[in-house]
Amino acid sequence: MRSTEVVVIGSGFGGLAAAKQLAKSNVETVLISATAEHLFQPLLYQVATGVLPAQEIAPQIAEVLADKESISVVEGYVTALDARQKVLTYSTADGVEQIAYEYLIVAAGASQGYFGHDEWADCTFSLKTRADAVDLRAHLLDCFEAPANDDAAHTFVVVGAGATGVEVAGQIQELGNRYFTDAPATVHLVEGAGDVLPVYGGKLSAFARKTLEKSGIDVMTGTVVTDIQGEAVTVRTADGDDRVLRARTVVWSAGVKATPLAAVVAEATGCDTDRAGRLLINPDLTVGGRADVFAIGDMTSLDRLPGQSPVAMQQGRHAADMIRGTTVRGTRFRYLDKGSMAVVNRHNAVVDAPFGIKLTGFLGWLTWLGVHLFYLVGFRNRVGAVLSWFRSFAGKARPGFAQVDRRSARPEEPDADRANSRDMVESAA
């Protein structure tokens, strides 16, 4: 059986940050991930709406870590953990394998939650993986190219007005306003809370709402989805009225739940979970009664921290620092909040920065642009993204749509990641 000092599970924000930090002390590390890429989830909505080609937000994790000699990358789906023996079981395209570790960092992220209506997963689009974005992109192109009298094709319901819901609704409306102008697009943004971007509140939420409405979006706050049947989406409005929206596209961005690995880790370590299945980790990021197992990022819950990439990255570095001995074992994790931001539409964003700084409009958008360029992984991706943004936002192109095979509405690029992870899950079952 293979063995190593540290295993990191997941190639997302948390896993990548942890692995890079461990490499600073040349700690022997194996990074196992179900997907071969490092996915920049905050820009998935831009792939779905054709702004960016998919590859610009998903560099191969092996390439990203190629210069770190102490790290090896394995594409595999972890299915079991024996915390006492310190052994992980994972499946790869070649079969089931095991690895022994000294320390384990689990960063397996979250998947979409449907508030007890898992059947809605089959009739809605979500935005969690690259495959999700590529599927939605092909579907949107189909809808916008449908005959002008096909009302359901030109009607879009986005459920959840957090950052993702606002961003995707804003971009779909923009597709209708600037790119596919033959038939009007109707976008309904449905949110159960009293306002859009509820975690921002005040001036920022008010700005976002006003901007969305001005662009033509029907913003329905205090409204919940009660049923989805085919193209009929039933919502209960703030007044208690039931209303049926007829739409061929429902984008679901309203809830999260931990990925299945959280339950495996909980069982193996005796750790409790919350209602969304997230691990209730200890203040030093260890799990249950184990001092050698850490869990970080979206699959965990600690101090009501938001499910955002800076939390996962800072936690990844903290766990790695304790393992490599630059931080004392057992040190409580403290989050340094550098603020949050969301794009509303072209040239409009809201930014909630430290020291009470709140930016809206073009200034907010420029800030958003700079921050995302800084955090995008890889020089090639940064250059590519800048060119695509220029073509999309200054001009009227949507470079991502060129990747869609219009005859079959399937992506031209083979989605190896989707196929591989499916094979691996199936071979594990």
Ligand X SMILES: Cc1cc2nc3c(=O)[nH]c(=O)nc-3n(C[C@H](O)[C@H](O)[C@H](O)COP(=O)(O)OP(=O)(O)OC[C@H]3O[C@@H](n4cnc5c(N)ncnc54)[C@H](O)[C@@H]3O)c2cc1C
**Is 63 annotated in the active site?**
no
For 200-236, the DSSP string reads T-HHHHHHHHHHHHHHT-EEETT-EEEEEETTEEEEE
Binding mask 310-349 vs ligand X (x if CB under 6 A, - otherwise)?
Answer: x-x-------------------------------------
Binding mask 141-170 vs ligand X (x if CB under 6 A, - otherwise)?
Answer: ----------------------xx------
List 53, 109, 165, 411, residue binding ligand X (CB under 6 A):
109
Say if residues 49 and 378 touch (Cβ distance below 8 Å): no
Kindly tell me which of 234 and 308 has the beta carbon lying closer to ligand X: 308
- Structural tokens at position 328: 């004392």
List 29, 33, 282, 348, residue binding ligand X (CB under 6 A):
33
Kindly tell me which of 42 and 50 has the beta carbon lying closer to ligand X: 42
Kindly tell me which of 44 and 140 has the beta carbon lying closer to ligand X: 44
Residue whose C-alpha is closest to residue 316's, from 96, 2, 6, 85: 6
Told to check if 106 binds ligand X by CB under 6 A, we report no
Kindly tell me which of 198 and 307 has the beta carbon lying closer to ligand X: 307
Residues 6+ apart with CB under 8 A from 181: none
CB of 17 to ligand X, least distance (A): 8
Task: Give the whole-angstrom CA distance, residue 61 versus residue 54.
Answer: 15
Told to check if 113 binds ligand X by CB under 6 A, we report no
Active-site pick, 167, 174, 191, 231: 167
Told to check if 427 binds ligand X by CB under 6 A, we report no
Told to check if 14 binds ligand X by CB under 6 A, we report yes
List 6, 7, 8, 10, residue binding ligand X (CB under 6 A):
10
Residue whose C-alpha is closest to residue 77's, from 53, 58, 96, 101: 96
List 54, 71, 99, 127, residue binding ligand X (CB under 6 A):
127
List 4, 6, 7, 13, residue binding ligand X (CB under 6 A):
13
Told to check if 11 binds ligand X by CB under 6 A, we report yes
3 state DSSP class of 65: coil
Kindly tell me which of 9 and 376 has the beta carbon lying closer to ligand X: 9
Residues 6+ apart with CB under 8 A from 45: 127, 133, 164, 167, 168, 171
Told to check if 77 binds ligand X by CB under 6 A, we report yes
Instruction: Give the number of residues in contact with ligand X, rule: CB under 6 A.
Output: 32
Say if residues 148 and 185 touch (Cβ distance below 8 Å): no
The residue behind tokens 């749509």 is 401
List 261, 281, 285, 320, residue binding ligand X (CB under 6 A):
261
Told to check if 91 binds ligand X by CB under 6 A, we report no
Residue whose C-alpha is closest to residue 324's, from 70, 100, 89: 70
* Cα dihedral value 273, 275, 277, 278, nearest 10: -60
Task: Give the whole-angstrom CA distance, residue 253 versus residue 255.
Answer: 6
Q: State the pairing for strand pair 155-159/186-190.
A: parallel
| Active site residues per annotation | 167
* Contacts with ligand X, residue ranges (CB under 6 A): 9-15, 32-35, 41-42, 44, 77-78, 107-109, 127-128, 163-164, 259, 261, 297-298, 307-310, 312
